[in-house]
Structure 1
Amino acid sequence: MHDNARIESDSTQPLGKGQIAMERAGGRFTRRDFLRLGGAGVAGASLLGLYGCGGGGSSGAQIDWASWANSGEATRFREYTDKFMQDHPDIQVTYTPTPIYDDYHPKILTQLNGGTAPDAFYAGDIWVAQFIKNETIKPLNKLMNGPNSAAKPEDFADGLWGPARLDDGTIYGVTVDCNPTVLWYNKGVLEEAGISDDPRQIYESGEWKWDVLLQMSEQVASSGNTNGLMFENGINWFYSWCRQNGGKPFDGETCVFNEDAKSVEAFQWMYDNIESGAFTYAGNLPTGQTSDAQFNSNRAAFVQAGRWVLPVFKQNTSLEYDVVPFPTNTDNDMEPGWVATAYMVMNNQTENEKAAFEFLTNFTGPEGQSFRLQESGNAVPSVLQGADDLVTKGSDPEGSQYFLDVRDSGIVGYADLTVPGLPEDIQDLFEKELWLKNAPGDVQATLDGAAQTINQRIEENRNG
């Protein structure tokens, strides 16, 4: 862990200019990669160097805010900060980004311990619980329900609160925006494999089920040169597939995916289809190759992703794509999917509560999200009204409404998100035991061991 942010050159292009800026290992697309994209893969972020932007010599309240940030939203965050100060001339704002995601939260923790933390700041999902436990961030219910709030709690998609809202309803963080996950499909690859049926039309007819996806993936993969479904190693992907089967991975704060028959069946289905070659595990690709690159180069029929890939895909004139919700193996057309997000929280020791909340609520409210997302195109508003047209305008992709549908019905995750490092450890376990070539492949034994580890770590974190 590092007390100070490292400044490294950023040679990547902004997300909106055709390149996903992230670090990957062996083609894996991990949960941390989503977060590195911005608000948990949400809005793309910004790289402004170590020095904050904004501020000034005017009298009145002065506040600071901070986030992790790459170059994708550098200009946008600067512009929003400037716009806020123009609209609120009595508040001076300084923004300080941290370019490396892994440096960000340790830096915030050091500042909180030293009394120098910003008034408002981004918090990743697994860190919110720690900030709550340490009593370093402020409850927001009273402020959000007050007259100066740009959005009330009920204005946000209910499934997105995750660890930022306690069981008793106390809210400690507000979603900055979100990224609902869907299946992107490559029309050209399907057509070349002799598949004339369109997945989105199949979904609209109520027939988009596991067996249809599997049949299409098998037909594409049978050529030997093209991948069917690109399968990612991420705990939230696994949970989403469990829910598509009617599974219940958690019972409250207890992991039960090893005992829940529908969850066990879903994991077995994932394993079997990777083994058969219908699905391709991204970690088994040659070093340097990734799922989205396979899709973008017309070598994969389906890829699991949020809206973060849109800026890249839409620049490829040879790529014909659309999106569809995950297929289900239940009587329902849609089951809750995974929605990636991050939160803005308020320092419990801020000396300018009113001004800090004024910035937080405007940043996360409908106007703030509209301003920040209107040109990036790689995230989805977390507010239910006032900004949805940013997603559906232009119908790119044609099924863009599904992003909103998944947002409205999806969830962030379960209690394992409250334990720093646990999701990554479990992902590594699944990769070693199930997904990699020549893995042991004992699904039940792997689930038993993983559930035991998860429940033990949750208990230790709760009592520690």
Structure 2
Amino acid sequence: MVPVLQGCSDSSSSSSSDSGSNGSGDTVNLTFSAWGNPAEIKVYQKAVDGFMKENPNIKVKLVPIPSDGYIQKLQTQLQGSQAPDVFYVGDGDISKIIETGKLAPLSEYMNSSESYAKPDEFAEGLWGAAKKDDEIYGITVDCNPMLLYYNKKLFSELGIKTPQEYFDAGEWNFAAMEEVTDQLRDGGKYGFIADNGWASLFSWIWANGGEIYNKETGDFVLDQNPQGMEAMEFLAKMVKDKNFTYTGSLPKGQGAEAMFMSGQVGMVAAGRWFTPLFHENKSLEWDYISWPSNTENKTEPVGIPTAYMAVNNDSKNKEAAMKFASYYTSTLGQKDRLSGIGNAIPSISGIDEAVTESKVPEHVDVIINAREQGYANAIQSTIPGLDKEVNDIMDLMYLGKDDAQSTVDKLSEKAKSMISEHKGE
């Protein structure tokens, strides 16, 4: 794994002035699908509008798809040749979509004068499974380092020491996390809503100085790693003691963000994607805090979820679709989307002020600092289907049905088998 922006170019994206149409001057119509909450969809539309202003002969229609069931719907659309021209693919799904042959190769276009974004403007560590045999099949849209959001008003009302106070004292660790979630529960609130996904799992393990995969070989090593095992024991204990409540156990239709905004829970984990929604709620007082670090360091690496912009290989307007994808992910497109109260932070260096100048929330620098230390999903996502298998196994632990040891045993058996098969061993 490579820290996300290590080796990033500081150059600005190239800007093409060609229409990108079908060459006849006729209007080209594209469809673009992505997941997102209502506030995020507004953010995406900013880049769509920016592209159409530069390319009046290309019209792009944004067609949102709910995140719940997104990949299943996309796969069905691709199989039936009904998929949009351009679409988001998550870091845990892209390897299996590449295998279908339904994604257009993008390297040649991105290296041409037509593209708004060049491959060398993105950190090598961000490509993850979107690159196969040196061919690009998805362009990183932006990036979203994991951190915690905490409800400042709730902490104040209950007289609880804030995570920021612990952090400033160099004490924002697992013990502090347990202490504040204990106090939140004592106050009749949920302590922390835990979600299931590689980024959260890896962040907890790294927070304790542990490892789940060998960074050099890609082999599964959690079962041989005491620090990683200790982190798993902490997670299992927090679930058992009800300090952590799993998103998968919440009533249907009740999500972490809604509970946070209604003052039912003290802390939730996410990237920047909750920020536009929370900012719109003017009665909500909140801030970022780094993931708790259980080592001598004040912060440890966190997982950095990424989404990729992919182009439908069956699109009738493939070149225009590639042009839009390159704009959306370029410096221009990322500024359109991320300036002010955006839903992510740049994956291209040199434009961090688009995020930090908003000063929302107060400690907005936390998310930039997290990117400098964090990692994208560069190992697990390259093994088709492994993300889902890991999530299914972790689901049982988060539901309180399996303890840490049995969970790690299951993870070890499944991961080692799938990695070995993938390597052809």
TM-score (norm 1): 0.73
Checking the alignment, whether the CA contact within 8 Å between 1:98 and 1:104 is kept in structure 2 is no
Give, in angstroms, the shift of residue 398 of structure 1: 0.7
Checking the alignment, whether the CA contact within 8 Å between 2:86 and 2:311 is kept in structure 1 is yes
| 1:87 counterpart = 2:54 | yes
CA separation in 2, counterparts of 1:282 and 1:124? 19
Correspondence for 2:201 among 232, 238, 245 = 238
Over 6 Å off, 4+ runs: 54-57, 349-353
Correspondence for 1:270 among 220, 228, 235 = 235
Checking the alignment, whether the CA contact within 8 Å between 2:341 and 2:360 is kept in structure 1 is no
Root-mean-square deviation (Å): 3.5
Checking the alignment, whether the CA contact within 8 Å between 1:159 and 1:409 is kept in structure 2 is no
Matched residue, 1:151 = 117
Give, in angstroms, the shift of residue 164 of structure 1: 1.2
**Residues 158-173 of structure 1 mapped to structure 2, 5 A cutoff:** 158-166=124-132, 170-173=135-138
CA separation in 2, counterparts of 1:121 and 1:254? 31
Checking the alignment, whether the CA contact within 8 Å between 1:184 and 1:303 is kept in structure 2 is yes
**Residues 103-252 of structure 1 mapped to structure 2, 5 A cutoff:** 103-111=73-81, 120-141=86-107, 143-166=109-132, 170-196=135-161, 198-204=162-168, 206-223=170-187, 225-251=188-214, 252=217
Matched residue, 2:331 = 366
2:406 counterpart letter in structure 1: A
**Of 179-188 and 72-81, the range deviating more from structure 2:** 72-81
Checking the alignment, whether the CA contact within 8 Å between 2:90 and 2:308 is kept in structure 1 is yes
CA separation in 2, counterparts of 1:333 and 1:185? 18
Give % identity: 33
Give, in angstroms, the shift of residue 401 of structure 1: 1.5
Matched residue, 2:10 = none
Checking the alignment, whether the CA contact within 8 Å between 1:141 and 1:170 is kept in structure 2 is yes
CA, structure 1 residues 200+373, in 2 after alignment: closer, same or farther (shift >3 Å)?
A: same
CA, structure 1 residues 56+345, in 2 after alignment: closer, same or farther (shift >3 Å)?
A: closer
Give, in angstroms, the shift of residue 266 of structure 1: 0.6
CA separation in 2, counterparts of 1:268 and 1:110? 45
Give, in angstroms, the shift of residue 220 of structure 1: 2.7
Checking the alignment, whether the CA contact within 8 Å between 1:58 and 1:92 is kept in structure 2 is no
Matched residue, 1:28 = none
CA separation in 1, counterparts of 2:120 and 2:22? 35
Give, in angstroms, the shift of residue 136 of structure 1: 4.6
**Of 143-152 and 274-283, the range deviating more from structure 2:** 143-152
Correspondence for 2:291 among 310, 326, 330 = 326
Query: What do residues 107-131 of structure 1 show as CA deviations (whole Å, max 9, x unaligned)?
Result: 12443xxxx8766443332332234
Identify which of structures 1 and 2 has the higher relative contact order when contacts are C-alpha pairs closer than 8 Å and 6+ apart.
2
Give, in angstroms, the shift of residue 343 of structure 1: 0.9
Give, in angstroms, the shift of residue 246 of structure 1: 1.2
**Of 102-111 and 55-64, the range deviating more from structure 2:** 55-64
CA separation in 1, counterparts of 2:251 and 2:37? 28
| 1:429 counterpart = 2:393 | yes
Matched residue count: 399
Matched residue, 1:256 = 221
Query: What do residues 341-369 of structure 1 show as CA deviations (whole Å, max 9, x unaligned)?
Result: 21123456778776544332211111112
**Of 369-378 and 357-366, the range deviating more from structure 2:** 369-378
Query: What do residues 171-193 of structure 1 show as CA deviations (whole Å, max 9, x unaligned)?
Result: 33211123222111122232334
Checking the alignment, whether the CA contact within 8 Å between 1:63 and 1:356 is kept in structure 2 is no
Give, in angstroms, the shift of residue 249 of structure 1: 0.6
**Of 320-329 and 445-454, the range deviating more from structure 2:** 445-454
Matched residue, 2:414 = 453
Checking the alignment, whether the CA contact within 8 Å between 1:178 and 1:341 is kept in structure 2 is yes
Checking the alignment, whether the CA contact within 8 Å between 2:117 and 2:330 is kept in structure 1 is yes
CA, structure 1 residues 207+148, in 2 after alignment: closer, same or farther (shift >3 Å)?
A: farther
Give, in angstroms, the shift of residue 327 of structure 1: 1.2
Checking the alignment, whether the CA contact within 8 Å between 2:208 and 2:231 is kept in structure 1 is yes
Checking the alignment, whether the CA contact within 8 Å between 2:22 and 2:320 is kept in structure 1 is no
CA separation in 1, counterparts of 2:182 and 2:73? 42
Give, in angstroms, the shift of residue 331 of structure 1: 2.4
* Runs of at least 5 residues in structure 2 that lack an aligned partner in the other structure: 1-19
Paired residue secondary structure (2:291): coil
Query: What do residues 66-101 of structure 1 show as CA deviations (whole Å, max 9, x unaligned)?
Result: 323567366665664454344235x53554636352
CA separation in 1, counterparts of 2:225 and 2:77? 40
TM-score (norm 2): 0.79
Query: What do residues 205-240 of structure 1 show as CA deviations (whole Å, max 9, x unaligned)?
Result: 5442222222222233234x1222222233331121
1:401 counterpart letter in structure 2: D
Checking the alignment, whether the CA contact within 8 Å between 1:415 and 1:458 is kept in structure 2 is no
| 1:381 counterpart = 2:342 | no
1:178 counterpart letter in structure 2: C
CA separation in 2, counterparts of 1:126 and 1:321? 30
Matched residue, 1:67 = 33
Matched residue, 2:17 = none
Give, in angstroms, the shift of residue 337 of structure 1: 1.2
CA, structure 1 residues 152+287, in 2 after alignment: closer, same or farther (shift >3 Å)?
A: closer
CA separation in 1, counterparts of 2:93 and 2:80? 14
Query: What do residues 278-303 of structure 1 show as CA deviations (whole Å, max 9, x unaligned)?
Result: 33334444555443333222232221
CA separation in 2, counterparts of 1:366 and 1:341? 16
Checking the alignment, whether the CA contact within 8 Å between 1:242 and 1:267 is kept in structure 2 is yes
CA, structure 1 residues 136+322, in 2 after alignment: closer, same or farther (shift >3 Å)?
A: same
Give, in angstroms, the shift of residue 103 of structure 1: 0.9
CA separation in 2, counterparts of 1:282 and 1:357? 36
CA separation in 2, counterparts of 1:456 and 1:248? 18
CA separation in 2, counterparts of 1:143 and 1:187? 47
Checking the alignment, whether the CA contact within 8 Å between 1:253 and 1:415 is kept in structure 2 is yes
